[in-house]
C-alpha cells in the first residue's frame, strides 16, 4: 500500500489553519479513515494537539510537572460521561496554555491563535454530549481561547441529533464517506472488478487474496459493530433481531425493488411495515443500506413508493453472500446486480445534501437511478455485459421529463470506470 491522503484531510488541515470560528465535525461510517486523518494532522505537530477517544484512554495526557499544575496529575474519571469529557477538555486547555507559553517569544499573537487542536473520537457515546460541548465551547469563545475542536463520530444519526439539538450555528461538517474506486486503486491498486466485489473498505483491502478471512473480517469487524454498537446500543431498538434480518435481506436484494409487505413475508420477526420503515431509515443513517424512493414530481408519491434497496458499500453485499469473487463474476445475473449496486453505492456516497437519489418505474419501463438537484434532472441506466434488459426506459423517462439528462453506463455509453471516477453532481451537468 502506498501512503494515501484522502481529500477530506486537506480540507481539515485548511480549516485548522484558520482562526478558530467553528467546531469541526468529521462525520461518517466506521472504518473510512476519520481517526487516521486526525491522528495524522496532530502527529505533524504533537505539541499543538491533544487527541482522546471515548473507546480508549489517551497516551498523550500531560504530566503534572510539565504543567506545573497538580490538578492534571489526577486520573481521568473511569466512567465515560460528562465529567470525563470536562476533564479532558480542561487537559486540552492546559496543554494549549503550555504550548502558548513556550512559543510566546517566537510567534506573533495571530500565529499562536487558532493552531492548537483538541480532537474527541466517538463523542456520540457520551450521554448528553452535545449539551456539555455547547457549554465548554461557549465558555472558550467568550474567553477568546484559540483552540480548534474536532469531533468524530461513527454513528451519523446520533451525531446529527446532538448537533441539531444543541450546537446549531456552532459547527461545520466534513463528510467522510466510503472509499471510491479511484481511492482504492491509488491506495491499494485494486482493479475495477475487485472494487465492484470487495468494495471500498481500506482496512479489509489487504485481505482480498484470502477471501474467507476477508469475509469474516467484514462481518465481524465492520458489520457487527456498525449494527450492534452504532445502532442497537445507542438508539432505542425494540427488536434488534429484526434490524439484523432486515440488513441481511437488504444485502441479498441490493439493486432490487422490494415492498415492505414482501419484506414482512421474508422476515419471521416482522409484524408492522412502520417498524420496518423506521429500521430501514436507521440503516440508511448508518450508511449501510438505503431504501431509494421512486422519482415523482409529488413528494407524497415518492414516500409511498416501493423502496429499491442498495448497499452503501458492495463489500457488505459480497460478505453476506456465499459467492466467491470468481463465482460472482461467472454468474451473469448476480454480477449485473453487483455492478448496479456499485453504481448505486457510488451515487449514495457522493451525493451532497442538495442532490437527491431515486429510481423510476412506469409499468415495464424503468430507470436504475435518477439524480435531482433543484431543476436539474439526470436519468442513469446501468448496462453491464451481464444485463440484457432493453434500455428504452431512458427514452420513456425523458418523454415524461423532457429536461432530464440521459446517461447510459456501460456498453455503448460512459464506461463504468469513468462513471465511478466522478461524483454524482458532475453528472447533472
Q: How far apart are CA 30 and CA 16, in angstroms?
A: 23
DSSP class per residue in 5-21: --HHHHHHHHHHTSPS-
The answer to whether residue 215 scores a pLDDT higher than 60 is: yes
Task: Give the per-residue pLDDT at 406.
Answer: 96
In a domain, 2, yes or no: no
258 and 402 fall within a common domain: yes
401 and 334 fall within a common domain: yes
The answer to whether residue 113 scores a pLDDT higher than 60 is: no
250 and 386 fall within a common domain: yes
Burial (CB < 10 A; 0-12, 13-18, 19+), residue 36, is middle
The answer to whether residue 32 scores a pLDDT higher than 50 is: yes
In a domain, 169, yes or no: yes
126 and 242 fall within a common domain: no
Q: Return the HEC string of 53-65.
A: ECCECCCCCCCHH
Residue identified by cell 477568546 is 144
Question: What confidence category does residue 180 fall into, taking pLDDT thresholds of 50, 70 and 90?
Answer: very high
pLDDT, tens digit (0-9, with 9 covering 90-100), for 329-372: 999 999 999 999 999 999 999 999 899 999 999 988 999 999 99
195 and 167 fall within a common domain: no
How confident is the model over 36-64, as a mean pLDDT? 76
209 and 343 fall within a common domain: yes
pLDDT, tens digit (0-9, with 9 covering 90-100), for 1-22: 557 899 999 999 999 999 999 9
264 and 165 fall within a common domain: no
Q: Look at residue 154 and give its three-state secondary structure.
A: coil
Task: Give the per-residue pLDDT at 62.
Answer: 36
Task: Give the per-residue pLDDT at 346.
Answer: 98
Give residue 39's region: left, alpha or beta (phi > 0; psi -120 to 50).
alpha
Task: Give the per-residue pLDDT at 372.
Answer: 96
Task: Give the per-residue pLDDT at 148.
Answer: 96
Q: How far apart are CA 210 and CA 261, in angstroms?
A: 38
In a domain, 153, yes or no: yes
pLDDT, tens digit (0-9, with 9 covering 90-100), for 307-323: 999 999 999 999 999 89
How confident is the model over 226-249, as a mean pLDDT? 85
How confident is the model over 247-276, as a mean pLDDT? 82
Q: How far apart are CA 33 and CA 198, in angstroms?
A: 17
In a domain, 1, yes or no: no
The answer to whether residue 112 scores a pLDDT higher than 70 is: no
90 and 211 fall within a common domain: no
Residue 53 belongs to domain spanning: 7-175
Q: Which stretch of 116-130, 146-160, 380-394 has the lowest confidence by average pLDDT?
A: 380-394
Task: Give the per-residue pLDDT at 391.
Answer: 72
Task: Give the per-residue pLDDT at 250.
Answer: 94
108 and 140 fall within a common domain: yes
Please give the tally of structural domains in the chain: 2
pLDDT, tens digit (0-9, with 9 covering 90-100), for 78-108: 778 899 999 999 999 999 998 888 877 555 5
141 and 242 fall within a common domain: no
The answer to whether residue 386 scores a pLDDT higher than 60 is: no
158 and 51 fall within a common domain: yes
151 and 185 fall within a common domain: no
Q: Return the HEC string of 163-217.
A: HHHHCCCCEEEEECCCCCHHHHHHHHCCCHHHHHHHCCCHHHHHHCCCHHHHHHH
Task: Give the per-residue pLDDT at 55.
Answer: 81
Last residue of a domain, one of 116, 147, 175: 175
Last residue of a domain, one of 112, 145, 175: 175
The answer to whether residue 69 scores a pLDDT higher than 50 is: no
Query: At 53, which CATH number?
Result: 3.40.50.300
Task: Give the per-residue pLDDT at 409.
Answer: 97
In a domain, 149, yes or no: yes
The answer to whether residue 156 scores a pLDDT higher than 80 is: no
Last residue of a domain, one of 175, 200, 220: 175
Give the percent of the chain with pLDDT over 90: 62
Question: What confidence category does residue 61 fall into, taking pLDDT thresholds of 50, 70 and 90?
Answer: very low
Task: Give the per-residue pLDDT at 103.
Answer: 76
In a domain, 29, yes or no: yes
Q: What are phi and psi of 333, to 5 degrees?
A: -65, -45
76-88 core/surface letters (b: 16 or more CB in 10 A; e: else): beeebbbebbebb
In a domain, 378, yes or no: yes
Amino acid at each position: 500500500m502506498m501512503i494515501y491522503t484522502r481529500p477530506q484531510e486537506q480540507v481539515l488541515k485548511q480549516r485548522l489553519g484558520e482562526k478558530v470560528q467553528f467546531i469541526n465535525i468529521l462525520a461518517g461510517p466506521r472504518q473510512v479513515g476519520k481517526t487516521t486523518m486526525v491522528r495524522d494532522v496532530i502527529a505533524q505537530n504533537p505539541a499543538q494537539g491533544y487527541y482522546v477517544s471515548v473507546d480508549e484512554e489517551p497516551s498523550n495526557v500531560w504530566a503534572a510537572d510539565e504543567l506545573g499544575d497538580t490538578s492534571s496529575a489526577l486520573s481521568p474519571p473511569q466512567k465515560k460521561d460528562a465529567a470525563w469529557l470536562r476533564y479532558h477538555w480542561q487537559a486540552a486547555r492546559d496543554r494549549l496554555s503550555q504550548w502558548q507559553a513556550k512559543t510566546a517569544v517566537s510567534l506573533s499573537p495571530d500565529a499562536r491563535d487558532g493552531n492548537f487542536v483538541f480532537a474527541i473520537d466517538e463523542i456520540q457515546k457520551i450521554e448528553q454530549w452535545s449539551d456539555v460541548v455547547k457549554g465548554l465551547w461557549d465558555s472558550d469563545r467568550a474567553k477568546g481561547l484559540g483552540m480548534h475542536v474536532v469531533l468524530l463520530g461513527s454513528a451519523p444519526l446520533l451525531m446529527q441529533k446532538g448537533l441539531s439539538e444543541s450546537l446549531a450555528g456552532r459547527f461545520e461538517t466534513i463528510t467522510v464517506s466510503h472509499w471510491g474506486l479511484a481511492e482504492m486503486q491509488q491506495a491499494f491498486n485494486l482493479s475495477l472488478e475487485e472494487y465492484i466485489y470487495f468494495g471500498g473498505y481500506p482496512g479489509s483491502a489487504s485481505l482480498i487474496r484470502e477471501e474467507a478471512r476477508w469475509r469474516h473480517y467484514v462481518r465481524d469487524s465492520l458489520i457487527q459493530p456498525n449494527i450492534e454498537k452504532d445502532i442497537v446500543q445507542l438508539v432505542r431498538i425494540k427488536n434488534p433481531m429484526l434490524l439484523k434480518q432486515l440488513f441481511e435481506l437488504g444485502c441479498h436484494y441490493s439493486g432490487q425493488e422490494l415492498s415492505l409487505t414482501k419484506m414482512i413475508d421474508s422476515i419471521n420477526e416482522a409484524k408492522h411495515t412502520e417498524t420496518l420503515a423506521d429500521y430501514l431509515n436507521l440503516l440508511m443513517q448508518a450508511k449501510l443500506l438505503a431504501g431509494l424512493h421512486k422519482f415523482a414530481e409529488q413528494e407524497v408519491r415518492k414516500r409511498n413508493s416501493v423502496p429499491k434497496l442498495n448497499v452503501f458499500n458492495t463489500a457488505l453485499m459480497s460478505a453476506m453472500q456465499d459467492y466467491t469473487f470468481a463465482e460472482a463474476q461467472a454468474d451473469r445475473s448476480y454480477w449485473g446486480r453487483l455492478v448496479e449496486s456499485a453504481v448505486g453505492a457510488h451515487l449514495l456516497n457522493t451525493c451532497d445534501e442538495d442532490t437527491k437519489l431515486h429510481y423510476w418505474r412506469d409499468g415495464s419501463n424503468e430507470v436504475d437511478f435518477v439524480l435531482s438537484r433543484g431543476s436539474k434532472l439526470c436519468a442513469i441506466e446501468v448496462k453491464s455485459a451481464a444485463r440484457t434488459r432493453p434500455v428504452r426506459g431512458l427514452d420513456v423517462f425523458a418523454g415524461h421529463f423532457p429536461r432530464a439528462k440521459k446517461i447510459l453506463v456501460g456498453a455503448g455509453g460512459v464506461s463504468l470506470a469513468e462513471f465511478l471516477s466522478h461524483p454524482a453532481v458532475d453528472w447533472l451537468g
